[in-house]
Amino acid sequence: MKPDLVETVVPHEEGLMIKEIIYGRLRLSRGLLRRMRNGGQVCLNGRWAHITQRVKTGDKIEIYFADSATDLVPEPMELDIVYEDDSLLAVNKAPNIPVHPTGGYPSGTLANGIAHLWQQRGLKRKIRLLHRLDRETSGVILIAKEPYAYHQLVRQLRSRRLKRKYLAVIKGKLNDKQGIIDQPIGMSSQADHGLKRTVTDSGRPACSHYRVIQEYASVSLVELELVTGRTHQLRVHLSWMGNPIVGDEMYGQASSMINRQALHAWSLDFIHPRTEQPVQIRIPLPGDMKSILNHQLQQLQ
């Protein structure tokens, strides 16, 4: 079995315990260390080792992380896979598909479809989603196939080195063609919307960047970048500005031009956790959002 991680002890680490290298240079979490204890293992120069064992320059530390099969019910689903290797899977999620089972959507989710993909390939792995999208939002979702990749990408997400950008069709035009929306977001007091959020001084910090790409007859196409990742953040911020996303019934109003909120996760940039090379994933606008813009262009003619 191939180890998940192989590291060579460098001169200044001579005499350290394996766990000091694990927590130090490798910066692995205690959660990953527990995985080594519960089914995984650490080897030194090809032989099983205790993490308190001391090392010499040139020693090879081999780490095997334990994993377990997902408990989600596998369901056949046509997946639009836009990137895949031994560590990562990126899928272009179609609109109106939930990402993960909830009380309202116990099945038919993207995670159920990925569980079926794992089953077909004989993989006993959990489904590690790096981020989520609302049910109506389309676009790219990144999934880590193994614990180490997930651990490294979560660190990138928290340090904002994993960058997520969206395209949205919004109502009206913005006075400033680019800017930063830095407004805290918390739960809405509206009793009929248990999930609804709002801009409120008592909320958690939330920051979004925006840039107008093109203006049309009555809408604008904007690019948005998440700095924080609050629930419904982009939808709440745009509504607060007075330019809700077209078709967003919760934060604006329904539209005859589209049967969902016109929001698309189009761009991911990150450093590959294994190769340490930059990865860029781009997903063009889906057809329903293109049709809005085409209709708007016709009105300008």
- The tokens 């604008």 sit on which residue? 220
67 classed as catalytic:
no
Given 4, 59, 67, 134, the catalytic residue: 134
Distance (Å, whole) CA 57 – CA 219: 63
Distance (Å, whole) CA 65 – CA 53: 18
Is residue 93 within 8 A of residue 110, CB to CB? The reply is: yes
Contacts of 101 (CB under 8 A, 6+ apart): 72, 107, 109, 111, 112
Active site residues: 134
